[in-house]
Amino acid sequence: MPCSKNWKKPMSTLEVRTPGHTYSIRIEKGLMSDLGRFLGPFNHGQKWVVFTHPGLYEQFGSEILTALEDSGFDIAFITMPEGEASKTIANVNRIYDQLLKQNCNRSTTFIAFGGGVVGDVTGFVASTFMRGVGYFQVPTTLLSMVDASVGGKTSVNLASGKNLVGTFYQPLGVLIDPDFLRTLPVREIVSGMAEILKCGAIRDKTFFRKTVKNLTHLIALMDQAPLIETIEAACAIKARIVSEDEKESGLRRILNFGHTIGHGIETALSKTGFRHGEAVAYGMLAAGYLSHRYGKLSSAEWNELREALWQLPLPALGRIDPDKVLAHIRHDKKYSHKQLNFVLLEELGRADISADISHAHIIEALNYLTRSIHKET
């Protein structure tokens, strides 16, 4: 049985180094209760605005306020609804109005306190308000810890698709407190674990296999030591990729493994409450199928990837309308010059971009998912 003695003591700090900015990712238990100490060097008497959603505000608002006011911070809060409904131009306009009413200016600093949606919106507003103000990411979900909070992608949605309006705008820092994970339902842990498996699948075969070996314990949060190290390793993979390719002109595109079809599934099934990581897991199954089907990924490693993803307790996929998925993909940022830049695996730990995947291939992959649901769940 896997146990924590097989895992090293996790490091506490990673760095993201982009051409214009270097910042730290701090991972530490109990960090939340000591925000004033970590943020103190950045406080120069300016207004600080914490962006969050109402549930987190009710649960942690007083703690944040006390911790920061006791350290001499001038704090205000702005809340937004949970979920993708917040990632709209209308909500961003509402936020701009609130910032002006609170006399915010170019010296104001933001804190994104929440999951990926809060981080995306806060980063987008930070990058555009007064032509750009500083912000910190304090992610509270596993998915946002290993994905949305790292790398500086900010975005809002349009009616025709996810994340179609956005900027690359790096935070001043990322503060990750694993204690938040004990407040999450299992589905949120599973959603984040899908992104962690993605990191290994595209860049580090050893890490992928180690995570799969311990997957049941990690999802159950049975031991924080391996969980913290897993978060750190996933963040380190993304930090290295972002440091090499900040604006997705080359290497960074491999982080989209599973996301092209995954985003299509997420959009098509948005009314069913599908989570982002769950849709990406199905997207990785589809992309893995195409990787094997068209001669890149070996049979042995395709089986390894497939069996790993089926270990995740994913919700039933149900019926998928291929036309809805394809409609989303036509508006996808990875679709340019009438070609779809699709991420495939050459082998576990090594991904590549292919422009040879057609709509017919997408439909074939969706049909594979439909056929396999009843056989493998």
Active site residues: 131, 153, 195, 238, 248, 252, 256, 259, 263, 276
Judge contact between 121 and 151, C-beta under 8 A: no
* β 161-168/109-114 pair status: unpaired
For residue 48, the cross-strand partners are 75, 109
For residue 138, the cross-strand partners are 113
Four-CA torsion 244, 249, 252, 253, nearest 10 degrees: -160
Judge contact between 362 and 321, C-beta under 8 A: no
Q: Tokens for 298, please give them.
A: 């070996």
> 173 CB contacts (<8 Å, ≥6 apart)?
23, 24, 25, 26, 38, 42, 136, 137
Range 252-270 burial, b when 16+ CB lie within 10 A, else e: bbbbbbbbbbbbbbbbbbe
Q: Tokens for 205, please give them.
A: 């075969």
* β 342-347/47-52 pair status: unpaired
* β 161-168/153-158 pair status: antiparallel
* DSSP SS3 for 91: helix
Judge contact between 234 and 199, C-beta under 8 A: yes
- How many angstroms separate the CA atoms of 180 and 30, rounded? 9
Q: Tokens for 217, please give them.
A: 């314990």
Q: What is the DSSP secondary-structure string of 205-268? A: HHHHHHHHHTHHHHHTT--HHHHHHHHHHHHHHHHHHHHH-TTSSSGGGGGGTTHHHHHHHHHH
